[in-house]
Amino acid sequence: MRTADIRSRFLDFFAARGHTVVPSAPLPTPDPTLLFVNAGMVPFKPYFAGEAPPPWERATSVQKCVRTLDIEEVGRTTRHGSFFQMNGNFSFGDYFKEEAVAYAWELSTSPQAEGGYGLDPARIWVTVHHSDTESRSIWRRVAGLPDERIVDRGDEDNFWSMGVPGPCGPCSELYYDRGPAFGREGGPAVDEDRYMEFWNLVFMQYERGAGPGKSGYPILGELPRRNIDTGMGLERMATLLQGVDNLYEIDETRPVLQRAAELAGVRYGADPEADVRLRVVADHVRTGLMLLADGTAPGNEGRGYVLRRILRRAVRSMRLLGYEDPALAELLPVARDCMAPSYPEVADAYPRIAEQAGAEEDAFRSSLRQGTTVLDTAVARVKESGGRSLPGAQAFLLHDTYGFPIDLTLEMAAEQGVEVDREGFTALMNEQRERARADARARKAGGAVDTTALRTVLDAHGPTDWRAWDTLETESRVIALLGPAGPVPVARTGDVVTVVLDRTPFYAESGGQESDAGVLSGASAEAEVLDVQRPLPGLVAHQVRVTAGELALDDTVHAAVDAEWRLGARQAHSGTHVLHAALREVLGPNALQSGSYNRPGHLRLDFPWRGALSTTARSEIEEAANRALRRDLPVGVRWMTLPEAKEIGALALFDETYGEKVRVVEIGGAWSRELCGGTHVDRAAQIGTVALTSEGSVGAGMRRLEAAVGIEGFGYLARERDLVARIADQLGAPRAELPDRIAGLLDRLKAADRENARLKQQATSARAGDLASAAADVNGVRTVTTTVSGTAQEARALALAVRDRLPADVPGAVAVGTEDGALVLTLNARARRSGLNASDLVKRLLDGRGGGSPETAQGGGLGREGVTAALTALPTALAAG
């Protein structure tokens, strides 16, 4: 049975039993604790945690998941995969243990002809929590399982919680006995390779308190509504039903593995180490495909870094198998064909996926060539010095400059028998991240608030009555006042606090749109609104600075959005939609927005594309955007189901979570149609203008457009006009002739630079001859020491020129210093054969500050006196050898 058929059979089974089929959420998740959805229940967390009312009593889904904590184990064991799919059925206060057990048993064991999976009931084992006698009894009654195939286990294996205070409960897991060929007899407690877990039933019936780990925390009592959360591993069921050994050999992964083996000229199963690499390729190519399909782009932080790491591990594994050519273009189409039966959007998005993956592989192949040389040199130095550990600074350089993920540096260093100072690398990474965080904090005027306190507010008062789409002003009540340490009774002038109102007109930052600015004013206080966020689903929190008086809990305030700010924000957000549509009109559908940010007067838009846009393309995009403004296209909002929105071609943001009804913003009907929760103008002409201000790279295969809009757009164009006018006046030329006039000036400057370089070379050559003829004999070494008034590069050029004029049959050494404190030392071939080493000499002269090759080395930061001392000490160093 194909994996796609196993998937559809699961959904059909539960749909026929009253479950709403919920589409898989995108892999990127808005959950601040996660980068990607890593379990089937993650999209349902707000309902289980009581943060939002569930839209259904029963639901079923097949959820795409990515886990990367075990990424180093991928391929080395046959139980780890970074991408997997979780079939699940969920009950929100409806049915409980008896029905969940009955459904799982029926679907697992019913004949395939009757819609089941046809597993042999005599080979199914289950585990239950040791305290859960009710589940044991149900398994005996519903499934007829004997006691010896119902195994008691402890908290580590059979008790579930989210790891924080909230719902929890025992679970029951189903295992299938694959037979003696896979391991020892005795059930899942003895061997989980032979007895493969394929389904976990979680019975949420308790509320837990605070506490570490998987056990030891207090159970506070029964939940008011008992819930069911189950997860069947789709790949595991495919492994069982397709009669293969592991998840790498099922129909959705084996074709990729086989194609990789063909390209590399190896046979799967012939060599254990090659098998590991083939499994890494099969897993990572599929994972990369699915992440790219869901809008993640390779990058240096967060989700982008995970994707970059996965793609680069796949490429490197192919190189280790002996395949040197670009690999992803050969492998991704195979993965696409495997996954498209279940996820047609993979095929639809494939041109964009191929573009981004190809750009990433090209960048990595270039980085690999450069970085490998750097790493090999660094490893050689470590070994020469008798060390065993590559410095953390070197690993950080490889990461920061050459794009080497730390795991790649660890792997490559280990292959050469060298460890890496991981702590030193981590410290440098933390410093870099802290600088970024400090910069972000500097733009905010206060600290974060513990979400536990906010959850208490949400539980007590319910969701915020949010009016941002309808009005700029509301009369509101302060229902929570929070400082960094928790609730406070009052905030005084100068205090920065988080305020929760029962209703608000303020737009909370989301969908790329910055939050509103404005004020809260009451009988005894005035407060400036600095930031507005949604820290929990349904709850809007305002960060404010009290500017006058005292703001207290239960105060009535007038909440007023700055009307000019909102107008600017609406222009910028609508302008982003217009620019996106114009981009796709000019470049085609692969130019799909992968990130955006807009605030009053400014917008930026990221999209996958190889290479810089031409001047013509930029002009055409800007013209297409402003043509829409001139036509004054209508801007409308419609609510519909997600399938209906997809049917009419509405574009969705991949990192957003959508409910049963979605908000579709249209500009000119089908010309621009996107799912969006932001604020917008009523007609396109209200945007004013869209003026492109820059276009550049933000990573391999990713470009960024920035534009000024509204009054800021007109201001930008006015400043450009004034600049052109000043240049025309200075050159005394009409504006139309400026390009030719400036090109002529540049040509003359280049000619002057070439002449200057020629004269410098002549002077260097003449000086080099004089210095070489005046070389002193130091212990049998023809030696020249001198200084230049120029740069270290000029010192190097002079040193090499002098060295090449010294007699070839006599050892020669040349040292040239600069006035700003650099020193270059070079040796001729005869000096090298006599045992001298330029790098060692420079380190000796500069107390370890400097280095290079045995032939030429340099150091810096010495100051004029330091250079003089080093040149003076050179004869002694040469005499010492």
CA distance 195 to 182: 8
pLDDT value of residue 230 = 96
DSSP string, 175-217: EEE--GGGS-SS-TTT-TTTEEEEEEEEEEEEEE-S-SSSS-S
pLDDT value of residue 443 = 41
Of all residues in the chain, the percent with pLDDT exceeding 70 is 95
- Nearest residue to 51 (alpha-carbon basis) of 449, 464, 506: 464
414-472 per-position pLDDT tens digit: 777 788 888 888 888 777 666 654 544 444 434 456 677 888 888 888 899 999 999 99
CA distance 193 to 177: 9
pLDDT value of residue 282 = 95
299-313 per-position pLDDT tens digit: 877 888 889 889 988
* Distances in whole angstroms, Cα of residue 740 to Cα of each of 235, 386, 614, 619, 754: 65, 62, 19, 20, 21
pLDDT value of residue 47 = 87
Sketch the domain layout of the chain as residue ranges. 3-244, 254-440, 451-561, 566-726, 760-880
| CATH architecture for segment(s) 760-880 | Roll (3.10)
pLDDT for 528 beyond 70:
yes
Averaged pLDDT for residues 628-642: 93
pLDDT for 403 beyond 90:
no
Residue 163's SS3 state is coil
Averaged pLDDT for residues 3-8: 95
Averaged pLDDT for residues 742-758: 89
| Residues 825 and 865: beta-carbon distance below 8 Å | no
pLDDT for 32 beyond 70:
no
| CATH architecture for segment(s) 566-726 | 2-Layer Sandwich (3.30)
Q: How confident is the model at residue 3 (pLDDT cuts 50, 70, 90)?
A: very high
Backbone angles phi, psi at 591, to 5 degrees: -80, 70
Averaged pLDDT for residues 814-824: 88
715-743 per-position pLDDT tens digit: 999 998 999 899 988 888 888 888 888 88
pLDDT value of residue 865 = 82
CA distance 769 to 765: 6
Q: Which residue has the tokens 């340490």?
A: 485
pLDDT for 685 beyond 90:
yes
| Residues 530 and 545: beta-carbon distance below 8 Å | yes
Tokens of 152: 């008691």
Q: Dihedral through CA 755, CA 757, CA 759, CA 763, nearest 10?
A: 180
Q: Which class is 3-244 in CATH? A: alpha beta
Q: In sequence order, what are the residues at sequence separation of 6 or more whose Cβ sits closer than 8 angstroms to the Cβ of residue 628?
A: 578, 581, 582, 667, 668, 671, 672, 684
Q: How confident is the model at residue 879 (pLDDT cuts 50, 70, 90)?
A: confident
The b/e string for 362-386 (b: 16+ C-beta within 10 A; e otherwise) is ebbbebbeebeeebeebbeebeeee
For residue 821, the 8-state DSSP code is: S
Q: How confident is the model at residue 292 (pLDDT cuts 50, 70, 90)?
A: very high
Q: What's the whole-model pTM score?
A: 0.67
Sheet containing strand 851-852, strands side by side: 776-778, 781-788, 812-818, 823-827, 856-859, 851-852
760-796 per-position pLDDT tens digit: 878 888 888 889 988 988 888 999 999 988 788 888 8
Averaged pLDDT for residues 852-870: 83
What number does CATH give the domain 451-561?
2.40.30.130
pLDDT for 654 beyond 70:
no
- Known binding residues for Zn(2+) are 573, 577, 676, 680
pLDDT for 667 beyond 90:
yes
| Residues 262 and 276: beta-carbon distance below 8 Å | no
Q: Which residue has the tokens 């025992």?
A: 170
- Known binding residues are 573, 577, 676, 680
Tokens of 86: 């979780």
| Residues 379 and 389: beta-carbon distance below 8 Å | no
pLDDT value of residue 765 = 81
Range list of β-strands (E), 156-314: 159-161, 166-177, 195-208, 219-233
- The mean pLDDT of the chain is 88
